[in-house]
Amino acid sequence: MDTGVFLLILAWGLYAGCIYILLAIGLNLIFGVMKVVNFAHGELLMIAAYATFWVYYTYPRINPYLIIPVVMLLMAFLGVLIERLCFRPILGTGKLNEIFLSLGLIYVFQNLAALLWSAGSRSIHSPYSGISVSIGAITLPLDYVAIIVITFIILVVFHVFMKRTTVGRAMRATSQNREAATLMGINVERIDMLSFALGSTLAAVAGSLWMISGQMVTPYMGSIPAIKAFAVIIIGGLGSIPGAIVAGLTLGIAENIVPFLMQSLVAVFGLEMSFTAWKDTIAFFILIVVLVIRPTGIFGEKGE
């Protein structure tokens, strides 16, 4: 394989990994604090993507990058609503209730989106889509570089928030030991709400960046990114933010690199599989390997 092509594929994997990381960290945060698995997290990305589309076409000529903070606010509000009206009333009533609730939310969001925007594909255009940037031996669209940079900034801000702020420390305390956190005077219900809002905000960034990168949104597109996000948090370790980052990048890069490598296997063994099917195969292959070797995930704690 040509070195330039290899580096280009690595760069694409890095950009794809950014979307997975943002989604997975939000999912991890919600699980870490509330111990709730939100199966509708992919639908939050989908709703955020539609919100980006809606603002973009309601206010023509607006730079889509300026829409990101608006969508973050909208989705934070939605996250608060979901936590308060849906998960709060059933917390502690059993895992099955939580699972069915989030599965129900999937259908509610999908059909709401179909009702509001129809089932057709929607997209927006970045004003920079025609601009490419040369980085060493490769040329990348400016939007991809921006996405990687924005994700890095978000991760740094998130890290500082979790480590250096009172609310961040309270979230970490609640995720480590909810009872002890309560005894220490932390309002855990308020932390639940803030965690869900923050998780939704991260999904909002993922959704907006998804649209800016030239992707399309349909009401039913949330499931695949959600499955990949689940794979990321399991590979990285439930509740582990560094694990989600490492796993997200690994997955994004592996998905792009491995199909090329499998081409040689196709030639040798005559295996017929669609090129892009290899991408999904490798994601879950990595998941299985990690679970077999280290069931808690790369950075996971025992007992999770």
Across 35-167, where does the E strand assignment appear? 132-135, 138-141
Query: HSE (CB half, 13 Å, CA atoms) of 33?
Result: 31
Minimum Å gap between C-beta 116 and another protein is 13
Q: Mask: binding to another protein, 208-227, rule CB under 8 A, as x and -?
A: ------xxx-xxxx--x---
In angstroms, the CA 177 to CA 239 distance is 13
In the complex with another protein, the residue whose CB is nearer, 175 or 256, is: 256
Of the candidates 181, 147, 202, which has an alpha carbon nearest to the alpha carbon of residue 28? 202
**Minimal distance, residue 114 CB to another protein, in Å:** 7
| 228 part of the interface to another protein, by CB under 8 A | no
Q: What is the smallest separation between the CB atom of 50 and another protein, expressed in angstroms?
A: 14
Question: Taking the complex as a whole, how short is the minimal distance between the CB of residue 214 and another protein, in angstroms?
Answer: 5
Say if CB 49 and CB 210 are below 8 A apart. yes
**Count of positions on this chain that bind another protein (CB under 8 A):** 38
Spatial distance between the Cα atoms of 114 and 118, rounded to a whole number of angstroms: 4
CB of 47 to another protein, least distance (A): 17
Helices then strands, each counted (H, E), the chain: 12, 2
Structure-token match 């760069």, residue found: 11
Q: Which is nearer to another protein, 77 or 275 (CB)?
A: 275
Task: Give me 101's structure tokens.
Answer: 């609730």
Other CB atoms within a 10 A radius of the CB of residue 113 amount to 23
Q: Which of residues 192-211 bind another protein (CB under 8 A)?
A: none
User: How close are the terminal C-alpha atoms of the chain, in Å?
Assistant: 41
Site string for another protein, 9-48 (x = CB under 8 A): x--x---x--------------------------------
Contact status, residue 51 vs residue 58, Cβ threshold 8 Å: no
Restricting to residues 109-148, which ones interact with another protein according to CB under 8 A?
114, 118-123, 125, 129-130, 132, 139, 141
Question: What is the spatial distance between Cα 200 and Cα 51, in angstroms, rounded to a whole number?
Answer: 13
Binding string, 245-284, against another protein, x = CB under 8 A? ----------xx--xx--x---------xxxxx-xx----
Is residue 93 near another protein by the rule CB under 8 A? no
Residue 109: closest CA among 45, 159, 63:
45
Q: Minimum distance between the CB of residue 120 and another protein, rounded to whole angstroms?
A: 5
Which residues of the shown chain bind another protein in the complex (CB under 8 A)?
Answer: 5, 8-9, 12, 16, 114, 118-123, 125, 129-130, 132, 139, 141, 214-216, 218-221, 224, 255-256, 259-260, 263, 273-277, 279-280
